[in-house]
Structure 1
């Protein structure tokens, strides 16, 4: 046993010195995630301009924002199946090209129904992204680095949220709202080509060393042929496992809160706090910039804790509990803020602590899925979870237009943060095994 331990330590050290192919893949994945979010958040930044030009109300914009999640949610399970069947290289490459094309076509929209059709199309084409991320991380990154790796691609959703407001606001001010969709859509097409040329499974990667391959497979059972031993679970049975049921419901509450933040912060700052388009472009990016650094910090903190002996269950319970309960407190403080400065301050505190805990949120499918099935588990996780995201824009739009205003909408976020936090901490995060027949 001592010899095995020493051998593993040597393998880990050598892997870090010889090659870092796993981090190239993670960074490429993270870049795609950032573009994915820019292409969905650009609509939120353009919302005040579109409302004025097309005479659309708050409730109508809520429907358009939610329309993305109608198709995104429905397409999630087929996306998981396609990932298991064809792999992330083909599925994610095609998806990137498709969602970039749909985004560029928004420039030719002439009213509510054309916007509606393309928002639905964007939901379908973006649906494979996060299940693919989980699938890639599960086979490319060992458990000891998985929280940080997951935090990198997940925090790039915050990067998308951080860069979208100033970039899109600048393009709208300089060249109009149509060009903002053309530019951000083209970014996705370029990334898709890069992904198709660069991605390989670990065993097939042309530049990976033997020591790095052994390092990333250290948590798996290897057969005599050198392949990873797999105990597959049919997609139809995944939802029968309590750990998945609890995790997906908790994720639905998490996504409700996150979706309100990414879609309604720009409008909230302009309509309630009185900021101009340019002021909003800067102010709306601040909470997301804070979130980027806090999520990366969370990934490092929780990976270090794991290496010191904490269990995966301890990591996920603690991280998600801190993020969800801390978010509830910060949102309450934002509701009580008496100026735009303090509103942005507390929104930044909310996004920061929320993201710190969320460094764990997309490690969960990779933790519990059998080897190679994180795409399917991630599909179920995202399918159920996105019912929260589906209703968030509509409910928020309705409440914001009612006598309750944005404070009423934020009160719902507080309640869901608490409920989601409770579900996350009362769960166990262990790798699934097939049930006895």
Structure 2
């Protein structure tokens, strides 16, 4: 039998690999946007609608996907979903009209809907609470690394062979990953490399293990004020980071006249810094402080709020006078948002009732997807009206400020409404598993 450590970090690496592929599939259209605009005669506002098509169907898929992952499990739902999103990319590569491109982006949104929710649930199932920060940073950090690796590669492919080659590349990669997923992912209760002692060890240290939904899971989540605060706060984070994810290559192309290949390279440096910041501060540092006996929720609150505040530096990027200055502000903003991300994604696994991590994650990502879809379209419209990205980026600063206010009740309300600071032993290490904390 394999050791518990090797098994769970192998699972974590597999999930991270899936998200590398997942985000490459959804961002390829950002790199290809200029060629699409030229071929189909779109202005920047119309391109915003095409870029946002993915987000609308992704949004509608979130809550149903969350319920399904709680009921049928991570392995089967993701296994089918990966095949579908690979086919969606291949269909985009063969599309002969703008309507078909929008249709395939809508299909991609539905197919990719379950994966982040499954990542959150799998992390809660496989990882002890004292390792949740690093595990969450591993899978969410992969979304940043996807841009580090994917943007320059896709820019080179599209620059040399055209936009259809970019979608063909991501579609084939997705289908290859589907084979790996079916061979390698299992829930803790079914993994052939884990014995009963290993499963017992995971459970004893706070992993949720075989966590399937009860009949009241959805109702319980929807009635939780704390989970709603978490959901709306996450929407504000998601608005900003997904505006940057979607529009950054176009920002460099349109604001500074960068070529397609160059825009991919300019967009890479901020994502490298973001990935490093997420792994070291949002992951390792959080786990280190929690393991040292610091109050877990106070640690997470400080990291989340600090990250969102630093993310507000995006407001300076839109008015930067040079490509280098814009890259610098983008790097600072994305690094702050990346530090906040592991905390935000770990909250469903810490706070959701038993059997409802997927549902709580789905609710959170519904709000994220709505904010993202609206933000992508609004950014394109504001850029067209004002002639630059300054106004839409400043608007994103206000959204992040609202996010800090919305997140506040998540960290100040404890069971039965008692503030954590007033609870006995507030300065000592508190239990992480918050499955009953649903005020």
What TM-score do the two structures reach when normalised by structure 1?
Answer: 0.90
Equivalent position of 1:93 in the other structure: 79
- 1:7-56 Cα shifts (integer Å, max 9, x gaps): xxxxxxxx997641000001000000111000000001110111112211
Equivalent position of 1:341 in the other structure: 324
Residue of structure 1 aligned with 2:343, choices 360, 368, 375: 360
Question: What count of residue pairs does the alignment treat as equivalent?
Answer: 418
Secondary structure of the 1:360 match is: helix
Equivalent position of 1:114 in the other structure: 100
Q: How does 1:121-160 map to 2 (within 5 A)?
A: 121-160=107-146
Q: Contact 1:233/1:434 (CA < 8 Å) preserved in 2?
A: no
Q: Distance in 2 between matches of 1:17 and 1:178?
A: 44
- 1:355-378 Cα shifts (integer Å, max 9, x gaps): 112221211111112344211211
Moved more, 200-209 or 109-118: 200-209
- For structure 1, the 5+ residue unaligned runs are 1-14
Q: 1:218 Cα shift?
A: 1.9
Q: How does 1:278-357 map to 2 (within 5 A)?
A: 278-298=261-281, 299-328=283-312, 330-357=313-340
Q: How does 1:15-30 map to 2 (within 5 A)?
A: 19-30=5-16
Equivalent position of 1:252 in the other structure: 235
Equivalent position of 2:245 in the other structure: 262
- 1:215-265 Cα shifts (integer Å, max 9, x gaps): 32124599xxx9889987421331211111100000111111011101101
- 1:42-78 Cα shifts (integer Å, max 9, x gaps): 0011101111122111111111111111111111111
Residues 230 and 74 (structure 1 numbering): CA distance in 2 closer, same or farther, change over 3 Å?
Answer: closer
Equivalent position of 1:188 in the other structure: 174
What TM-score do the two structures reach when normalised by structure 2?
Answer: 0.90
Q: How does 1:2-21 map to 2 (within 5 A)?
A: 19-21=5-7
- For structure 2, the 5+ residue unaligned runs are 415-432
Q: Contact 1:316/1:364 (CA < 8 Å) preserved in 2?
A: no
- 1:238-293 Cα shifts (integer Å, max 9, x gaps): 12111111000001111110111011010110110221222112111111111111
Equivalent position of 1:382 in the other structure: 365
Equivalent position of 2:65 in the other structure: 79
Moved more, 250-259 or 349-358: 349-358
Moved more, 104-113 or 202-211: 202-211
Residues 309 and 39 (structure 1 numbering): CA distance in 2 closer, same or farther, change over 3 Å?
Answer: same
Q: 1:315 Cα shift?
A: 2.8
Q: Distance in 2 between matches of 1:25 and 1:150?
A: 12
Residues 60 and 94 (structure 1 numbering): CA distance in 2 closer, same or farther, change over 3 Å?
Answer: same
Q: Distance in 1 between matches of 2:210 and 2:403?
A: 38
RMSD between superposed Cα atoms in Å: 2.3
Moved more, 73-82 or 262-271: 73-82
Residues 216 and 60 (structure 1 numbering): CA distance in 2 closer, same or farther, change over 3 Å?
Answer: same
Q: Contact 1:316/1:425 (CA < 8 Å) preserved in 2?
A: no
Q: How does 1:374-413 map to 2 (within 5 A)?
A: 374-403=357-386, 405-413=388-396
Q: Contact 1:148/1:296 (CA < 8 Å) preserved in 2?
A: yes
Q: Contact 1:220/1:228 (CA < 8 Å) preserved in 2?
A: no
Secondary structure of the 1:362 match is: helix
Q: Distance in 1 between matches of 2:229 and 2:320?
A: 34
Q: 1:333 Cα shift?
A: 2.9
